[in-house]
Amino acid sequence: MGPKNSHIAYIEDHSGNGTFVNRVLVGKGRRLPLSNNSEIALSIWNNKVFVFFDLTVDDQSVYPKELRDQYIISKTLGSGACGEVKLAFERKTCKKVAIKIINKKKFAGSEREVDPALNVETEIEILKKLNHPCIIKIKDVFDAKDYYIVLELMEGGELFDRVVNKRLKEATCKLYFYQMLLAVQYLHENGIIHRDLKPENVLLSSQKEECLVKITDFGQSKILGETSLMKTLCGTPTYLAPEVLVSFETAGYNRAVDCWSLGVILFICLSGYPPFSDAKNQMSLKDQITSGKYNFIPKIWAEVSEQALDLVKKLLVVDPKERFTTEEALRHPWLQDEDMKIKFQNLLFEENKLTALPPVSAQPSTSQKRHLEGEEEDGNADTTKRLAVWAALS
Ligand code: AMP
């Protein structure tokens, strides 16, 4: 028997409409080699219908058995401060999910929080409690050597990639921003402040421009409860220091931090550049923000409606008590747009239709299963193992 790499799996294109491997067109009658996790699409590059798993590559045994029993872990989708996010397939249904791996060791060394485990647990606790179409849903959690958080998959990537050095159409900004506001309104109603809203933490459901958006990454979030300040203020203020009384004036406005961030996101989406930055500015970034002096480029804003700019202005208000709340923003004239709301309802309807599909049985055969679980191979299994598991993508 030859060495393992003497066998090459390839795909030959006999289709009428074109076949793509990892976005590359194969070409009629031509071949392209397949490697582990290659994605095969038909007609157009993003109409992905198959994924190729090379069973000679043992990339599953690094994951805990409980996770492997339920999911096949595939390519990396992205990475954040605490670890990687992987694409995975649920064995029972063949549905795609995202698995966020929180590296316990690496995370323990980060300066993100005094007790990192608490931080992750808070994030998990928050995500489990929440149920909103514009907030990422948690499907499962595996607490092993690392944390494995199974999340619904967002195929459109980050909002960040759609706004970096380019602007969105105003109608698209409105559709996205409306959803962000609904999500943050829901969070605030449930006593949660996100505290890290930015285009990187807004994920899109598809590659299409008109899609659902969902807020993610609750690693910095806070659950509002009775604070020690509140308890202090229940007593007599006779001995209370002035700074405590002053801080009471702004207590209860903590959630306004999210509305400021939403204002910054809306500014970026509409104009394609950030309101506050170090680049080409006389003022320090800190002074720009604390004075609320955003970088206004008339030529760019000339293409944006007055109503949209008005909403930005009402969110980027330095005094948190004067700043628009999510309710006020949702009542703003710019968002009284029935066509946009119908579009959103249709997208929701489409998503619910897809998630309600009956499960497809995609259990690997016994021999394939044996290998996936990392058992010993039999003598002449080399070529047979090369045969891929073809998983139909949901
Ligand atoms: P995070 O650690 O949550 O910041 O995620 C890191 C990156 O992984 C994100 O910026 C996304 O590109 C990707 N990602 C995170 N969650 C998902 C998801 N649910 N679906 C698809 N990609 C994701």
Residue nearest to atom 4 of ligand 1 (CA): 80
Least confident segment among 192-196, 317-321, 338-342, 369-373: 369-373
Query: Which of 344, 7, 297, 56 minimizes the C-alpha distance to 179?
Result: 344
Spacing, Cα 84 to ligand 1 middle (Å):
8
Measured between alpha carbons, how far is 74 from 58 in angstroms, rounded to an integer? 12
Calpha distance 326→324 (Å, rounded): 7
User: For residues 132 and 138, is the Cβ–Cβ distance under 8 A?
Assistant: no
**Measured on CA atoms in the order 249, 251, 255, 260, is the torsion positive or negative?**
positive
Which amino acid appears at position 54 of this protein? D
Report, as an integer, the average pLDDT of 364-389. Answer: 34
Determine contact, residues 369/363, Cβ cutoff 8 Å.
yes
Residue nearest ligand 1's atom 7 by CA: 78
Strand 24-25 versus strand 19-21 pairing type? antiparallel
* DSSP per residue, 95-135: -EEEEEEE-HHHHHTSSS-SSHHHHHHHHHHHHHH---TTB
Q: Are 38 and 21 in contact (CB under 8 A)?
A: yes
Structure confidence at residue 233 (pLDDT): 66
Q: Is the CB of 274 under 6 A from ligand 1?
A: no
Q: What 3-state DSSP class applies to 192?
A: strand
What CATH number is given for 71-336 in this structure?
Answer: 1.10.510.10
Encoding tokens for residue 143?
């607490």
The token pair at 231 is 């308890």
> How confident is the model over 191-203, as a mean pLDDT?
95
Q: Where are the domains of the chain?
A: 7-58+371-386, 71-336
Q: Answer whether 123 contacts ligand 1 (Cβ < 6 A).
A: no
The DSSP 8-state label assigned to residue 48 in this structure reads E
Q: What is the 3-state secondary structure (H, E, C) of 332-347?
A: CHHHCCHHHHHHHHHH
The arrangement of secondary structure in 7-58+371-386, i.e. its CATH architecture, is Sandwich (2.60)
**H helices present in the chain, as ranges:** 65-70, 104-108, 116-129, 160-163, 170-189, 228-234, 242-250, 256-271, 285-291, 298-301, 306-315, 326-331, 338-355, 366-372, 381-386
Cα 189 to ligand 1 centre (Å): 25
Ligand 1, residue 155: give the atom nearest the CA. Answer: 21
CA of 216 to the centre of ligand 1 (A): 8
SS3 state of residue 20: strand
The ligand 1 atom at the shortest distance from the C-alpha of residue 157 is 12
| Distance from C-alpha of 208 to C-alpha of 335, rounded to nearest angstrom | 22
pTM: 0.79
Q: Exactly one of 140, 143, 196, 382 is catalytic; which is it?
A: 196
Q: Is 278 a catalytic residue?
A: no
Whether 367 shows a pLDDT value over 50: the answer reads no
Whole-number Å distance between alpha carbons of 158 and 226: 34
Give me ligand 1 centre to Cα 12, in Å. Answer: 33
pLDDT tens digits, 128-185: 999 999 999 999 999 998 999 999 999 999 999 999 888 999 999 999 999 999 999 9
pLDDT for 267-312, tens place per residue?
Answer: 999 999 999 998 866 899 999 999 999 999 999 999 999 999 999 9
**Ligand 1 atom 15: the closest Cα is on which residue?**
85
